[in-house]
Structure 1
């Protein structure tokens, strides 16, 4: 099948989404390493989501690639809200006994 035909969809750029997924994966890995690291891992997950919100805000729709789901405002709001919620919960939950 020939690429770039009349009906071909523009190629999506995967790197913005890969940055967020890599950050979330790193945070989850840190979280499962031990009982003392769950808070740091959770903060890393939240920060990765906040990085995604910033990426979606500053990149054009075309450059955002696979990070684009809905409109820019909706995407930024959801990523920022979830990122802030995860960071806040990680910092507010009291340590275990």
Structure 2
């Protein structure tokens, strides 16, 4: 099986599955923020970005779909850095549902 026939045989929506997973996590986070649990929502957004970083590392450019914006290294560092920063801020601010 050649690479061109492999791409034609794949379902076109499977390419968007990793991005859909990350966006589903962000939707859950948005609902938590909407319900005034902003720290939990922010932590979920940070987690979603960390999931995006892991998916970007383990999937090829074609499989990553909309998660592939720049080179793999730049994408991974951007997603992981921003996710870790958001998670750090969400977990260290005093008060709220986490403490």
Pairwise same-fold verdict (TM > 0.5): yes
Provide the residue aligned with 1:7 in structure 2: none
Alignment of 1:1-97 (within 5 A): 13-34=15-36, 37-95=37-95
SS for the counterpart of 1:70 is: coil
**Structure 2: which 5+ runs fail to align?**
1-11
Contact in 2 for aligned 1:27/1:42 (Cα 8 Å): yes
Runs of 4 or more consecutive aligned structure 1 residues displaced over 4 Å after TM superposition:
none
Q: Structure 1 length normalisation: TM-score?
A: 0.80
| Number of residue pairs matched by the alignment | 85
CA distance in 1, matches of 2:56, 2:39: 26
Contact in 2 for aligned 1:20/1:51 (Cα 8 Å): yes
* Aligned-residue RMSD, C-alpha: 1.9
Structure with more helix by fraction: 2
CA distance in 1, matches of 2:27, 2:82: 16
**Shift, 1:12, TM fit:** 8.2
CA distance in 1, matches of 2:13, 2:34: 36
**Shift, 1:11, TM fit:** 8.6
Contact in 2 for aligned 1:39/1:91 (Cα 8 Å): yes
**Structure 1: which 5+ runs fail to align?**
1-9
Q: Structure 2 length normalisation: TM-score?
A: 0.78
